[in-house]
Amino acid sequence: MASKNSAPLVASHPLTHVDDYLEIGQKAGASDVHLAANARPKWRLHGRLEPIWPDAPRLTAEHTAALAEAFVPEVYKN
């Protein structure tokens, strides 16, 4: 069960698109979302930086790269 400051549980971790994290953060009232390699997804909620899901696995370097790949314009790739 999610704590009062964590997001509702989702079917799979990690999520597949940055927009999914942003949507969850927006619905919760978070001011920002932090995604980094070797870290659990975090958000700033009521001025405090905390994990979105305390038990979520850490994001891998490969997964964070894939998240960035999805929104970085082609001109900036390679």
- Supply the CATH number for residue 65's domain: 3.30.450.90
Between the alpha carbon of residue 48 and those of residues 33, 75, 77, the distances in Å are 11, 36, 33
Residue 62 lies in a domain: yes
pLDDT score at 7: 63
pLDDT score at 25: 94
Split into its structural domains, the chain has a count of: 1
Give the range among 8-12, 50-54, 69-73 with minimum mean pLDDT.
Answer: 8-12
Task: Name the average pLDDT for the chain.
Answer: 86
Higher pLDDT, 35 or 6: 35
Residue 57 lies in a domain: yes
pLDDT score at 8: 58
CA dist 45 and 28 (Å) reads 8
